[in-house]
Chains A and B, each alone.
Chain A
Amino acid sequence: MDRIVDNRAEPRAPKSEIPDVRDIPLRELLLSGDGTVFENALARILTELDLQPDVSATFTNSVG
């Protein structure tokens, strides 16, 4: 469907690949506030994980 809005009602993360980012110590230090795409993506994913306690996610395994 070609349109500019989101269309996944209940986003489903690829759970199997990812440990829990909430276990990473000093996660606040990951954000530098530099305004880049990477920074914003990181901030967004941290927020998303906070909002979805059932979504277990990790950075380390999924990006290696």
Chain B
Amino acid sequence: MIRFRESPQHPFREFILKVHQRCNLACDYCYVYTMADQSWRTRPAVMAEAVWRAAATRIAEHAERHALPSVRLILHGGEPLLAGTEVLTAIVEDTRAALPAACELRISLQTNGLLLTEEMLRELLAVGVQVGVSLDGRGRDNDRHRLRPNGRGSHADVDRALTLLTGDRYRGAFGGLLCTVDIEADPVATYEALLRYRPPMIDFLLPHANWARPPIRPVEAGPTPYGDWLIAIFERWYGAPHQETRVRILEEVINLVLGGASRCEHVGLSPAAMVVIESDGSIEQVDSLKSTYPGASETGLNVFADAFDDALRHPGIVARQIGVDALCDTCLGCEIHAICGGGNYVHRYSPERGFRNPSSYCSDLYKLITHIRSRVGADLAARLAAAS
């Protein structure tokens, strides 16, 4: 039972705009198109001006009501670049104009990179957009899953886009790389292939799975293939003589091990503070919930009629903000639950018990976290001994 009225509400600070519902790739693991929820089929392909203007007004209202010093706008899809730079820059400018002067607007865009051109980058950089690109490592590994609708791979075109983005002129707009974990790929080779672009940050995402659709675990890969895969990258990254980039999931675990806080939804108990605005103006929870069951991300609210404060009272949002109270008994009995936080919320789902379950990646997370804890603990002990 969620203790609804006792729960403090944490205002949203991250607003994800689904500016385009379609994609020019057909990745076989995509949670928008290949999993439980198929609502993309019935929504407008492109976000209309009336929708983004209403969203901007609601964001401004929320920022003012909660005296937010900054908010982040994320241009997302589908593939957001399909909307075109004219639409994207108009969204940014209209949102910026709507916000109170005291509230800083930070803007990100998450793209597959295929449509990135120099002209597009120039315009995005001019309005302050940070560009994150999705890439799954080496060519043959990336092209195993990140395919065009005709079955052709995408790596060569993404490489072209990243060469442009990471050049001197546009590097300031480079936000980082997202890579979905593929246990068929060599982890260190994957990391090093991404490192070639000198990203300010890499994040490795576990493929969306749950107890009804569990992670693929080939017998020969052992009981914790995803944990082992990430540990191999951790050792390569952590053991480098000088830090080469930031790796978000690993960095967050270290922060938690050292007594800090998580800032991403993979691990930890920090309240989630993101909300989605779909292309039809619907206010929704994180769209990765679409991997669980049809309608899982819906709130019944929309930006034309409802304030974001209304969404803060939605049970699904509340459940993401109450930290340890949302964990199941199994997690509460685990020694690392304050670090793990039950993992990514969507990975806990089962049709029988909803989201009060351990993560379907529980064994992998346990192995990864205890490995990092042990490694960092030894280094810390050495530092403390040297300092005393």
- Select B12's contact among A9, A14, A40, beta carbons within 8 Å: A9
A11 (CB) vs chain B CBs: closest residue: B261
Within 8 A of B (CB), among A2-58: 2-14, 16-18, 21, 24-27, 29-30, 32, 34-42, 44-45, 48-49, 52, 55, 57-58
Taken together as a complex, chains A and B put the C-alpha atoms of A39 and B380 apart, in Å, by 10
* CB-based nearest A residue for B199: A4
Using known A-B contacts A7-B272, A40-B243, determine if residue A59 contacts B380 with beta carbons closer than 8 Å: yes
Taking a contact as CB atoms under 8 Å apart, the answer to whether A8 and B108 are in contact is no
Q: Is the CB of A37 within 8 A of B243?
A: yes
Residues of A within 8 A of B255 (CB): 41, 44-45, 48
CB of A9 within 8 A of CB of B273, answer yes
Whether A63 touches B10, Cβ cut-off 8 Å, given contacts A5-B72, A7-B272, A8-B272, is no
Judged by DSSP, the binding face of A is loop
* Contact assessment for B243 and A36 in the assembled complex, using a CB-CB cutoff below 8 Å: yes
B254 touches A41 (CB 8 A): yes
Chain B residues closer than 8 Å to A12, beta-carbon distance: 261-262, 268-271, 323
Write out, one digit per residue, whether chain B residues 254-294 have a CB within 8 A of any chain A CB (1) or not (0). 11111111111100111111101000000000111000000
CB-CB under 8 A for A57 and B259, given A17-B338, A26-B388, A63-B380: yes
**B236-262: contact bitstring with A at CB < 8 Å (1 yes, 0 no)?**
011011110000100100111111111
Q: Give Cα A8–Cα B341 distance, bound, in whole angstroms.
A: 13
Check if B376 sits within 8 Å of A8, measured CB to CB.
no
List of A residues within 8 angstroms of B177 by Cβ: 4
B176 and A4 within 8 A (CB): yes
Q: What are the residues of chain A within 8 A of B288 when measuring CB–CB?
A: 1-2
Shortest distance from the beta carbon of B360 to any chain A beta carbon, whole Å: 17
| Chain A residues whose CB sits within 8 angstroms of the CB of B213 once the complex forms | none
B373 CB within 8 Å of chain A: yes
- Cβ A8 vs Cβ B264 within 8 A: yes
C-alpha gap A24/B388 in the complex (Å):
10
- Count class of interface residues, chain B: 35 or more
At the interface, yes or no: B76 with Cβ under 8 Å from chain A?
yes
Q: Is the CB of A36 within 8 A of B240?
A: yes
Partner of B175, one of A4, A7, A14, A34: A4
The answer to whether A29 touches B377, judged by C-beta atoms less than 8 angstroms apart, is no
CA distance A17 to B287 in the complex (A): 32
**CB of A24 to closest CB in B, whole Å:** 8
Is the C-beta of B203 less than 8 angstroms from some C-beta in chain A?
yes
List 28 contacting pairs A-B, 8 Å CB cutoff, sorted by A.
A1-B265, A2-B110, A3-B132, A4-B108, A5-B74, A5-B130, A7-B265, A8-B264, A9-B12, A9-B14, A9-B273, A11-B263, A14-B268, A14-B269, A14-B338, A14-B339, A16-B338, A35-B243, A38-B254, A42-B380, A44-B255, A45-B255, A45-B260, A55-B261, A59-B384, A62-B257, A63-B376, A63-B380
Task: Spell out B's residues near A (CB within 8 Å).
Answer: 10-14, 16, 31, 72, 74, 76, 106, 108, 110, 130, 132, 134, 175-178, 201, 203, 205, 237-238, 240-243, 248, 251, 254-265, 268-274, 276, 286-288, 323, 338-339, 373, 376-377, 379-381, 383-384, 386-388
